[in-house]
Amino acid sequence: MSLKGLIVISPGTRKLLAITLSVALLAVIFAFFYYRGVNRSEDPRVAEARWFMAEYDRVSGGKSSYALFHLLDSAASIYNRVPGYESSWERGVIYNNKCSGLLLMALYDSTITESEKNTLLDLSVSYCDSSITVYTGWLDEWENLSEEAVVQRLLLDMNKEDPAFAGLNSARVFRKRVRDVLLARIETPRRLSVSYTNKGTAYRHMMGQDSALVYYKKALTLWEDNRTAESNLSVLLGGEPLKPGIIESLFPPDRKKANKN
């Protein structure tokens, strides 16, 4: 008996398969045009910098993250020379990524000496402070502006006649940057909270318990749902690390929610 004779597909199953394949095909087509549109909406002047940062996020995460800092350095070099980006929150992300990478090395690389560990912790604090400076400076400049004021400020640095925008819809690129800035005003307090959490962790491992306490509490005033800060604070005070409940694991708090009191 042939294989075709062994496999019998009912009319109902054929219909279900046809529907499933049609939905899958539509999803692929939608994704293609959606992400194509998103990519063509990004500021081409910093597109390569965003690629470097995305690549770092993709391949980093272990104790050898330091070996990948050249990706962050390349992104920073681009941001530093493009008008409007030299003091933007993106540079704060780069500094804090370096801080996190050095912390991972200091805390989990068993091959380093105690002296090397302390050097890494000191350097991580230095990068953390740089991220805090960038984030707070950017928020001071942008947080309280109206949307119209944001638009006017961005117009100073995004000239539609710039050759970099050739072949692109410059108006769409500009609108995307406006949306990015408005979203960053919500996200950056959370990013700042993460920086303070990292700083608290570095000080905790340098036996600066009082300073660590201050920074964990500061992190939680900026983002009350910062579970990493909350768990580290619990450990610092002699408690146990906090584990999320079942509901919170399934439905984690909105990371865009920030307590600005």
What are the boundaries of each domain within the chain? 12-41, 42-250
How far apart (Å, rounded) are the C-alpha atoms in residues 208 and 237? 13
pLDDT at 26: 46
Instruction: Tally Cβ neighbours within 10 Å of residue 54.
Output: 12
Dihedral over alpha carbons 169, 172, 178, 179 (to 10 degrees): -140
- Show the low-confidence residues of the chain (pLDDT under 50): 1, 3, 6, 24-38, 246-252, 255-261
pLDDT tens, position by position, 41-97? 899 999 999 999 999 999 988 778 889 999 999 999 999 999 999 999 999 999 999
pLDDT at 258: 42
Question: Can you tell me whether residue 168 is helix, strand or coil?
Answer: coil
Instruction: Select from 1.10.10, 1.25.40, 1.10.3120, 3.30.70 the CATH code of 42-250.
Output: 1.25.40
pLDDT at 77: 97
pLDDT at 218: 97
Q: Dig out the tokens for 21 from the structure.
A: 């394949």
